[in-house]
């Protein structure tokens, strides 16, 4: 995941069974819906909650 580009999809869990997804927006940040009550938020990638897989959709 060294070459992340804005728009890349970030997955937590495994490639075959992800439990969470976010969208990379650049500058080591991503957007995602953490909880239904919180809505969509922007966060910085961290080693504590780092995605397992990244995919680029063209």
List Cβ neighbours of 5 (8 Å cut-off, separation of 6 or more).
24, 26, 56
Q: Taking Cα atoms as reference points, which of 10, 16, 22 lies closest to residue 54?
A: 10
Per-residue pLDDT of the chain (58 residues; tens, 9 = 90+): 779 999 999 999 988 899 999 999 999 999 999 888 999 999 999 988 899 999 999 8
């Amino acid at each position: 995941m060294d070459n992340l580009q804005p728009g890349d999809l970030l997955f937590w869990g495994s490639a075959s069974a992800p439990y969470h997804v976010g969208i990379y927006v650049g500058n080591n940040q991503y957007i995602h819906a953490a909880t239904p009550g919180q809505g969509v938020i922007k966060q910085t990638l961290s080693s504590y909650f780092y995605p397992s897989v990244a995919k680029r959709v063209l």
